[in-house]
Amino acid sequence: MSNILQNERDKEIKNAYTLMKNAKPDAYEQARIHYYTLKEGQGWLRTEKERLITTEIDPFLNQLNDEFKDLMNSISQPSSSNNTNEIGDEAETRYLKKKLMQEKDKVSIHNRLLVLGSNNNTIVNTSWLPFIFDILIAILGISIVYLLASGKYSKILNIFKPTQIQSNI
- Are residues 143 and 75 part of one domain? no
**For the segment 34-45, what is each residue's pLDDT rounded down to a tens digit?**
888 888 887 887
> Does a structural domain hold residue 168?
no
Asked if 53 and 111 sit in the same domain, the reply is: yes
136 and 106 fall within a common domain: no
Same domain, 79 and 131: no
**17 closest CA partner among 34, 33, 35, 40:** 35
Does residue 24 lie in a domain region? yes
Torsion angle (degrees, nearest 10) of CA 142, 144, 147, 151: -130
Q: With bands split at pLDDT 50, 70 and 90, how would you rate the model's confidence at 141?
A: very high
Q: What percent of the chain has pLDDT over 90?
A: 5
Q: How many helices (H) and strands (E) does the chain have?
A: 7, 0
Residue span of the structural domain in which 133 resides? 125-160
Among 32, 13, 15, smallest CA distance to 24 is for 32
Residue 30 sits in the same domain as residue 54: yes
Total domains present in the chain: 2
Stronger pLDDT, 31 or 163, i.e. the higher one? 31
